[in-house]
A and B are shown apart, each in its own frame.
Chain A
Amino acid sequence: MAVAVEVPKLGNTVEECLIAHWRKQAGEKVSAGEVVAEIETDKASFEVTAPVAGTVLETFFAEGTLVPVFTNMFAIGEPGEDVAALRPASAAAPAAPAAGDAPAAAASAVVEQKAAGPVPATTSPAGALSPRARRFAAEHGGAGLALPPGSGPGGRVLEEDLRRQYYSTARVSSVARQRLREGAEVQGAGSGVAGMILSADVGAPATATRISSLREKIARRMRESLAATAQYTLHTSADAGGLLLVRAKVKASKGVPDININDLVTWCTVQALVAVPELNAEFIDGRLHQHRAVHIGFACDTPRGLMVPVVKDADRLTAGELSIRMKALTAQAVGGTIGVDDMTGGTFTVSNLGGLGIESFTPLLNPPQVAILGVDAIQLKAVRREGRIEFIDSIGLSITLDHQVIDGAPGARFLKVVKEKIETVESLCTI
């Protein structure tokens, strides 16, 4: 027959205890005398043991809940036994935790408060506070509380420590307290009467804004990218002399498309993908789909966030044609008029942060694509040529690859091809 174990009375003045931790969960077998739960008063913590051997049938309260003494806290018996009769009225029924009855709501509210409470986790690990201390902190200004040295076991901060500190140190003005609750932090000492912390001593509250649906999509894609692939990045650089020469020619000529450095690098990458089609691929459900046509995606900074327009069949385009297409898609992306077709179907992506002066970075893969090329800034680089030191314009290249399907050597070989294409761009593309 199932037996219930009550919250013990741990002192004359103790009316309730906090469930700190369940060592055993419902369904676990325990022997007599084995610890099932840790409970705490504001002064100390205690272990509650199983009085008989059996199976823990149900734990009636969540961790973090304050439970009056002599209330049943868990039941032990044979699997399948009914514990409804042992379950205290203030506990939530396990099958219907959100049944809407007030005690259940109260119990879960405590847990939520614990989780969301603005405990000063930045100044001390949360574990350094006893649950009761954490509760006190959450109820008394949260982040505004400085943590005193703990007097508990292992330097653990007890509620008493916090309470003593709270009532003996500088107070916080009403306004400052409200701003602290909104997420602001105390900056420096209190400047008010007797060191009172005034609103001027509190920074502006952090602002929380709901992110846009595009941002949500980007966030999800980025998480998926990191979670589902084995990314690594290789860095190299290429002589950018040819790029600059072509760019200068474009500028000097009339009636030709305004091909910029990014267009040229993207075009060179397309040529490299034609030469090394292994990287013009997608890895889906254990299959590597290698594409013949190069649909090149390029990262585009828009007011709403990152977008990646795709130029279809880029391998069939001249540098000028690619440039025109990229500019058209960029304008649509920035203006918010770009169609879904122009945003999907990419087989490889180029991301250029060189224009912002970035010297090297780690692009994140755009799965299921297996590679993404990051284009860095053009910088002066010292090279030895025929025994002399010369300075050349050098463009950084950073490629991120999916190690699931592309090993280091093939990745490096591809990057070498990109580098060659860039360094010979003058002879490859005609204006």
Chain B
Amino acid sequence: MYDLIVIGAGPGGYEAAAHAARMGKKVALVEKERLGGTCLNVGCIPAKTFLRSSKLFHECGEAAAFGVKLGSVEFDMPTMVERKNRVVGTLIRGVDGMLKRAGVEVITGQAMLVSRSAVQVGEQRYEASNILLATGSRPAVPPIPGIRSERVLDSNTVFGLTHVPKTIAIIGGGIIGLEFACFFNEVGTKVSVYEMLPQIAMGSDQEISNRMLQILKRKGIDFHLSAKVLGIEGESIQFQDADGSSASASAEYVLNSTGRSPVVQGIGLEEVGIDFTSKGIKTSEQGKTNVAGVWACGDVTGRRMLAHAATREGIVAVNNMFGKKDRIRYHAIPSVIYTHPEVASVGSTEEELKSAAIEYKKSVVPMAVAGRFLVENEGGTGMVKVLAGARYGEILGVHAIGDSSSEFIIAAAAMVETEMCVADASEIVFPHPTVSEALREAILGVH
């Protein structure tokens, strides 16, 4: 009898398991594949490793402007993949060691919920007072004829590529699609992005996503917005363009990045009566499902498909199951798009504030106000936007585009999380010279 069985060893599951074990609980973690889940194996970490290589390759092309002359530069895909595997391997071993130290029992196999307090793995049945579902998500497969053909990759299979394609068509201009668009573009692939919506990076602040579209187009990526892919046949893609006209294009590969679906099938949810839809398991702010003793966190809830959101959700659930009141505050969860340039944001977008009829003040400054940004980015561009409540000046949202906004967005997240007002935040000293000073300038610019 366990205090907790966690199903799924992604960043939601393994962190929650370790947290519970450190609280002195008897914990088992069931994983059918490798530890680390999507994030470590086929998500955040591999993608960022790829992007690091492509960025370096791209920067080599710009080295002369920095006064560094290089000979011929080649992109070596197998070495990059090897490095990716090494990085991932190191991190997985890290997770493994961490789980061992915490005292979590890891069970390998496909878990099936058989009651509110029992999990079946193969022939073995395990009992627990609490079960945390952290089964994650998988790439969604839209109903497009030809989508299942060999030449159509998704965010899992793309890491199996052994050479740089000449051309790639990316279906979906969301976070995953844009990051890969950036990667392929930098390593020399001709990239076209097909997005059904009139905007890329849907959910981002529109001013930021417009700026990103502008920058990525200038880098040579083709965008078809408000476009619908009708079918894929061999190397040909048929699509309906924004004006309604049908067209076709050819691409060596197609990347399906139309989104991710929570893994809710085949894990016994129906049998136990868990309330869920294809969009995820319904949970409270404490991580409770409708069935007492069964909890859920991460992508399987369909709430915020972000590794760090999953981690926090899992820890909140564990705290609540063992008597420590806790709740997740989604509004202060930052998110980053690791394109070049990076996009980082936290809190409400301007569009959200408008539609909620919240009165706000706004300040936008170019990233170039920070000296360090100019130092680091030759010809780079970017901006930081701060949205604050009209009445009290509380920081409601911060949206940035420009390298390396991902590293300082946490400061803004802490401000949003603690409802800091512009006047309070103005008292904080930012290190000089750092790119984060652009955030400071934007905060000071709110009147």
Binding site for B on A (CB under 8 A): 173-176, 178-179, 189, 191-193, 196, 198-199
> Which residue from B325, B392, B418, B423 sits with its C-beta under 8 Å from A193?
B418
CA distance A189 to B329 in the complex (A): 15
CA distance A312 to B421 in the complex (A): 63
In contact, B389 and A175 (Cβ under 8 angstroms): yes
Not counting A174-B392, A192-B419, A199-B419, a sample of 6 additional A-B residue pairs whose C-beta atoms are within 8 angstroms of each other reads A173-B394, A174-B419, A175-B389, A191-B327, A191-B329, A198-B419
CA distance A309 to B423 in the complex (A): 55
Residues of A within 8 A of B419 (CB): 173-176, 192, 198-199
In contact, B392 and A192 (Cβ under 8 angstroms): no
In contact, B329 and A199 (Cβ under 8 angstroms): no
Specify the chain A residue showing the minimal Cβ separation from B420.
A174
Specify the chain B residue showing the minimal Cβ separation from A191.
B327
Given contacts A178-B392, A199-B394, contact A173 B327 (CB under 8 A): no
Residues of B within 8 A of A199 (CB): 394, 419
Q: Closest approach, in angstroms, between the C-beta of B393 and any C-beta of chain A?
A: 8
Pull 25 A–B residue pairs with CB atoms less than 8 Å apart, ordered by A.
A173-B394, A173-B418, A173-B419, A174-B392, A174-B419, A174-B420, A174-B423, A174-B424, A175-B392, A175-B394, A175-B419, A175-B421, A176-B419, A178-B392, A179-B392, A189-B325, A191-B327, A192-B329, A192-B417, A192-B419, A193-B418, A196-B418, A198-B419, A199-B394, A199-B419
Which residue of A174, A178, A193 has the most chain B CB atoms within 10 A of its CB atom?
A: A174
Residues of B within 8 A of A174 (CB): 392, 394, 419-421, 423-424
Q: Closest approach, in angstroms, between the C-beta of A65 and any C-beta of chain B?
A: 31
CA distance A193 to B332 in the complex (A): 11
Q: Closest approach, in angstroms, between the C-beta of A182 and any C-beta of chain B?
A: 10
Ranked nearest first, the 6 interchain pairs of A and B with the lowest CB-CB distance are: A173-B419, A174-B421, A175-B394, A175-B419, A175-B392, A178-B392
Type the 1/0 row for B381-398, where 1 means its CB is closer than 8 Å to any CB of A: 000000001001010000
Residues of A within 8 A of B417 (CB): 192-193
Residues of B within 8 A of A179 (CB): 392
Residues of B within 8 A of A198 (CB): 419
CA distance A156 to B389 in the complex (A): 40
CA distance A174 to B421 in the complex (A): 6
Residues of B367-426 at the interface with A, using a CB-CB cut-off of 8 Å, are 389, 392, 394, 417-421, 423-424
CA distance A179 to B420 in the complex (A): 14
CA distance A88 to B423 in the complex (A): 40
Residues of A within 8 A of B420 (CB): 173-174
Residues of B within 8 A of A175 (CB): 389, 392, 394, 419, 421
Q: Closest approach, in angstroms, between the C-beta of B357 and any C-beta of chain A?
A: 15
Residues of A within 8 A of B392 (CB): 174-175, 178-179
Residues of A within 8 A of B327 (CB): 191
CA distance A175 to B418 in the complex (A): 9
CA distance A408 to B420 in the complex (A): 65
Type the 1/0 row for B418-438, where 1 means its CB is closer than 8 Å to any CB of A: 111101100000000000000
CA distance A176 to B389 in the complex (A): 13
Residues of A within 8 A of B389 (CB): 175
Specify the chain A residue showing the minimal Cβ separation from B419.
A173
Q: Closest approach, in angstroms, between the C-beta of B386 and any C-beta of chain A?
A: 15
Specify the chain B residue showing the minimal Cβ separation from A197.
B419
Residues of A within 8 A of B394 (CB): 173-175, 199
Residues of A within 8 A of B421 (CB): 174-175
Residues of B312-344 at the interface with A, using a CB-CB cut-off of 8 Å, are 325, 327, 329
Q: Closest approach, in angstroms, between the C-beta of B412 and any C-beta of chain A?
A: 15
Residues of A within 8 A of B329 (CB): 191-192
CA distance A174 to B329 in the complex (A): 18
Residues of B within 8 A of A173 (CB): 394, 418-420
CA distance A173 to B332 in the complex (A): 14
Q: Closest approach, in angstroms, between the C-beta of A94 and any C-beta of chain B?
A: 42
Q: Closest approach, in angstroms, between the C-beta of B378 and any C-beta of chain A?
A: 39
CA distance A312 to B12 in the complex (A): 80
CA distance A191 to B327 in the complex (A): 7
CA distance A134 to B445 in the complex (A): 38
Specify the chain A residue showing the minimal Cβ separation from B325.
A189
CA distance A173 to B416 in the complex (A): 10
Q: Closest approach, in angstroms, between the C-beta of B286 and any C-beta of chain A?
A: 12
CA distance A56 to B329 in the complex (A): 63
CA distance A179 to B325 in the complex (A): 25
Specify the chain B residue showing the minimal Cβ separation from A173.
B419
CA distance A192 to B394 in the complex (A): 15
Q: Closest approach, in angstroms, between the C-beta of B326 and any C-beta of chain A?
A: 10
Q: Closest approach, in angstroms, between the C-beta of A330 and any C-beta of chain B?
A: 38
CA distance A44 to B417 in the complex (A): 41
CA distance A175 to B419 in the complex (A): 6
Specify the chain A residue showing the minimal Cβ separation from B285.
A191
Q: Closest approach, in angstroms, between the C-beta of B420 and any C-beta of chain A?
A: 6
CA distance A189 to B326 in the complex (A): 11
